[in-house]
Structure 1
Amino acid sequence: MYLGLENGVALVTAASRGIGRATAERLAGEGMTVVATSRSATGNTEKIGNGRIEQLALDLDDSDATAGLVQTVVDRFGRLDVMVLNTPGPRILPALNLGWEDWQRAHDQLLRPVVQLGTAASRVMREQGAGAIVLLTSTWVRQPALGGVLSSSYRSAASAFAKTLAAELAGDGVRVNQVMPGATGTDRMQGIVEMKARTNGTSVDDEITKVVKDIPMGRWGVASEIADAIAFLASPRSSFVTGTSLTVDGGAVRAAH
């Protein structure tokens, strides 16, 4: 499907690997210039198809850095057409095993940068009269999981923020949507099942089997499948879609709404 994204400028955060990296590659493959941030970025430029990825070193924990990120992109490229708000995963622990410092750290990973960058991108896009913001959260927003209280709590707050932005910007040519991935075969997911195996005294294969048995499609997702959903919501092909939350989980969440 032709997405109509060529020659646009996108900003994708937490894009060194996993879904963030797959998204940067997908958008660049559509002909976009993609600024891909991560703590490990080298500053290199990568040509992909008719587009390119411009790596930019940035730590989402640094509020001063994130505060100026959108303006940095606009100053360099003249506009911002797509903002993909991706954040790293926090600690996986039972709620009673967490200290207040864990909550503060998760706030600075999952909510504060989303609000900072989402607000800044919204202002630029409203001035342009066009733009798309896609927030990446998790199915844990809809169906919390044991050990995932930090993720489900702060991503739920980020989800509400995105829904509000969508309503406020709908008349300004700016669309705001959310993608909620389920179990996806990333390094992060591999780390989670390894931790569960250690905790439960089982094998990694046993823990993977437990996850997959609850997915009607019988497998984990692939990062590129999540990136495809993000690219669609970022593109003019979804021009009448805003304020929606798209679950991409192989049917694992059974809730009707």
Structure 2
Amino acid sequence: MDLELTGGTALVTAASRGIGRAVTERLAEEGMTVVAGARTAGREPEKLGAGVIRPQVSDLADAEQTAALVDTVVAEHGRLDVLVLNTPGPRIVPALDTTWADWAAAHDLLLRPVVQLAVAGGRQMRAQGSGTIVLLSSTWVRQPAAGGVLSASYRSAAAALVKTLAAELAPHGVRVVHVMPGATGTDRMQAIVESKAARNGTTTDDEVAAVVRDIPLGRWAEAREIADVVAFAASPRAGFMTGSAVVVDGGAVRATY
């Protein structure tokens, strides 16, 4: 299926590895110029399929860098067609063991940069009269897990923001979609199971087995599978989808809404 993304410009944050990297590669394969923001971004553009990946040093923990990111992309490429809001995961810790420093750090990692980028990207797309914003978060917004209070809390706030933006931007031809991955085979997921194993006195194999037992499809997702959903949601093929929250989790979340 041609997703009709060829020739467009995308910005993906936290794009150096995991789901962010997979999304970056997928959009480039569809023919987009993808600005890949990351703290450790390289220097040379990378040709991939019909598109190109252009590294952009961007530390989401730095408010000034984040504030300038959309303007930087537009100044160089003239427009912004797709904005994928991806953020790293915060510390895994029980709620009663958190400190205010944990909350402050998670805020600056998960919520502030999403607000900055979503507002800046939304204004640019409103002026263009087109564009799609995709928030990548977690099924913990829908079904919180032990130790995930920081992620669930701030990602829930980000979910409310993009739901509001979807309504505000729809009259201007701009769509906003929320994609919530479940357990996915990334370095982040490995860190989570290692943390659980240390806390529970188990092994990582035990914790992986426990996660998979709760997934009806019987396995973790691959990052590429999440990227496929993001690429579709970002494309004109999903042109009547906005304000939607899409769960990609192998059936793990049992909620009916």
TM-score (norm 2): 0.99
**Correspondence for 1:29:** 29
How far apart, in 2, do the equivalents of 1:66 and 1:244 lie?
25
What is residue 105 of structure 1 aligned with on the other side? Answer: 105
Q: Which amino acid aligns with 1:112?
A: R
Which whole-Å CA distance do the structure 1 matches of 2:8 and 2:124 have between them?
Answer: 14
Q: Give 4+ residue runs of structure 1 displaced > 3 Å after superposition.
A: none
Counterpart for residue 151 of structure 2 = 151
Deviation (angstroms), 1:43: 2.1
Residue identity opposite 2:218 in structure 1: G
Write out aligned runs for 1:237-248 (5 A). 237-248=237-248
**Structure 2 residue 53 is matched with structure 1 residue 71:** no
Alignment partner, residue 49 of structure 2: 49
Per-residue CA distance 1:9-35 (angstroms, 9 max, x = gap): 000000000000000000000000000
Cross-structure match for 2:84 = 84
Deviation larger for 190-199 or 129-138 = 190-199
- Tell me, in whole angstroms, the C-alpha distance in 2 between the residues paired with 1:77 and 1:43: 17
Corresponding position: 1:175 with 2:175: yes
- Residue 78 of structure 1, CA deviation: 0.4
Provide, for residues 157-205 of structure 1, a one-character-per-residue CA deviation record: whole Å limited to 9, x for no partner. 0000000000001110000010000000000001111121122221111
Question: Where does structure 2 lack aligned partners over 5 or more consecutive residues?
Answer: none
Q: Which whole-Å deviations, capped at 9, do the CAs of 1:75-101 have from their partners, x for residues lacking one?
A: 000000000000000000001111101
How far residue 241 of structure 1 moved from its aligned partner, in angstroms, is: 0.4
Q: How does 1:242-257 map to 2 (within 5 A)?
A: 242-257=242-257
AA matched with 2:226: I
Identity of aligned residues (%): 67
Root-mean-square deviation (CA, aligned residues, Å) is 0.6
Confirm whether residue 200 of structure 1 aligns to residue 200 of structure 2: yes
Aligned to 2:212: 212
Secondary structure of the 1:61 match is: coil
Tell me the distance in 1 between the aligned counterparts of 2:123 and 2:30.
Answer: 25
Superposed CA offset, 1:217-247 (max 9, x none)? 0000000000000000100000000000000
How many residue pairs were aligned? 257
> SS where residue 54 of structure 1 aligns?
strand
Gaps of 5+ in 1: none
Secondary structure of the residue aligned to 1:67 is: helix
Cα distance in 2 between the residues matched to 1:191 and 1:62: 24
Provide the C-alpha distance between the structure 2 equivalents of 1:106 and 1:83, rounded to a whole number of angstroms: 21
Inter-partner Cα distance in structure 2 for 1:217 and 1:107 = 33
SS in 2 for 1:115: helix
